[in-house]
Homo-oligomer: A and B are copies of this chain.
Amino acid sequence: MTTERRGPLSRSRRPTIKDVAEAAGVSRSTVSRALTGRGYAASDVRERVLRAAAELGYVPDVMARTLKQQVSRSVGVLVSDLRNPFYAELAAGASSEARERGYTMVLTDTSLSAETESEAAEALVALRVAGVIVTPNSPAVSTYLSSHGIPVVEVDRQFAAGSTDGVVVGNRVGARTATAHLVELGHRRIALFIDETDWTTGYERYHGYLEALGAADIKVDPDLVVASGWDVADSRRRALDMLSGPNRPTAVFAANNVLAEGVWRAIGELGLRAPEEISLVAFDDAPWMSMVSPQVSAVAQDTFNLGATAVRRLDERIETPDADSVTTVLGVRLVARESTAPPPVV
């Protein structure tokens, strides 16, 4: 054995329970009992073991323990895009709650790709995680993980409501509130920018919009409903088209923070004055919305809490795997700022 100077530990091999046992002059079993606190261990022996473990810098091997016990203490988290503050905050909430409950968190940014998501899910199965929380990009994930007996919680949107747990926000009521806010201000021509209506988020927000219009006896103009792409550039382009055309709406409801940014940029580029000439309200409050001028009114969701709640739900599911599946709906609130006002008088 060559002399290695890297602190008390020989870098070549990590101390195992066997090393601790030898150092303390007891058997491996006794070390295990002393360290985990399960089973008998005389107090002097326990102390000797503890000291030996500390001196060697012994840290139990989670892999080996998990293999033996067949229960893991780590959860997988699959989010669509960490660069979007929404997902970043959701991940922050998940991390915090996971830490508190003694779970380690295996995280993958799935880049909004169903393929990446599937690969990541397979990796999580291989890792034998105790459960997974996911902002799903496709229905495949939940099905796949469930078929492997791994508890899943779908967050933000659901593909498998009824068969797996979900944690979402009040999308319909939020969209209805936002739209009704515009209606109350006197708007009749209200555009909707939305990226899709296949996911539950889009579907619910779309219907919330419809409900608010219906309640005010406003006929829906299909030309005012824009199925935009998922990025700022596309949303901006579509907004430029719509807002520079004839007969433009007096207000826009953007169904998420990305679309809102596109619309907001278009408004600025066209030199339209908000809220005098055009009102804007967004679903999902992003930091920039309270910093720009005029500040953007938005339906705020507690995103950090969304992530934290999902981990809580997952933990409960892990405890009682056979209970009926639950969908938790978190509240939202409209933050009326400066971008919404009565429409211009014609």
| Known contacts A62-B126, A67-B61: A91-B82 contact under CB 8 Å | yes
* Stretch from A117-125, A164-172, A309-317, A328-336 at the B interface: A117-125
Q: Which residues of B contact A109 (CB under 8 A)?
A: 91-92, 95-96, 99
| Known contacts A123-B104, A288-B287, A293-B292: A64-B67 contact under CB 8 Å | yes
List CB contacts (< 8 Å) of A106-120 with chain B: 106-109, 111, 116, 119-120
| Known contacts A108-B105, A292-B291: A63-B127 contact under CB 8 Å | yes
Count of A interface residues, CB-CB < 8 Å: 56
A9 located at the interface, meaning its Cβ lies under 8 Å from any Cβ of chain B in the complex: yes
Q: Is the CB of B106 within 8 A of A104?
A: yes
> Would you mind naming 22 contact pairs between A and B with Cβ atoms under 8 Å apart?
A7-B147, A8-B147, A57-B148, A59-B122, A59-B148, A60-B126, A61-B126, A62-B127, A63-B67, A63-B72, A67-B67, A82-B95, A83-B92, A83-B304, A85-B88, A88-B91, A99-B119, A105-B107, A107-B107, A287-B287, A288-B288, A291-B291
Q: Which residues of B contact A96 (CB under 8 A)?
A: 109, 111
Interface residues of A (CB under 8 A from B): 6-9, 11, 14, 57, 59-64, 66-67, 72, 74, 81-83, 85, 88-89, 91-92, 95-96, 99, 104-109, 111, 116, 119-120, 122-123, 125-128, 146-149, 261, 264, 287-288, 291-293, 304
Q: Is the CB of A149 within 8 A of B66?
A: no
A27 to B: closest C-beta gap in Å: 21
A208 to B85, CA, bound (A): 31
Q: Which residues of B contact A6 (CB under 8 A)?
A: 146-147, 149
Task: Name which residue of chain B comes closest to A123, CB basis.
Answer: B104
A126 to B62, CA, bound (A): 5
Task: Name which residue of chain B comes closest to A105, CB basis.
Answer: B107
Q: Which residues of B contact A149 (CB under 8 A)?
A: 6, 9, 11, 14
A74 to B120, CA, bound (A): 13
A109 to B91, CA, bound (A): 9
Q: Is the CB of B116 within 8 A of A99?
A: yes
A285 to B169, CA, bound (A): 31
A97 to B: closest C-beta gap in Å: 11
Going nearest first, the 6 A-B pairs with the smallest beta carbon separation are A88-B88, A82-B92, A95-B109, A7-B147, A288-B288, A107-B107
Task: Name which residue of chain B comes closest to A62, CB basis.
Answer: B126
Q: Which residues of B contact A304 (CB under 8 A)?
A: 83
Q: Which residues of B contact A95 (CB under 8 A)?
A: 82, 107-109
Q: Which of B14, B107, B123, B292 contacts A288 (CB 8 A)?
A: B292
Task: Name which residue of chain B comes closest to A12, CB basis.
Answer: B149
Q: Which residues of B contact A148 (CB under 8 A)?
A: 9, 14, 57, 59
Q: Which residues of B contact A57 (CB under 8 A)?
A: 147-148
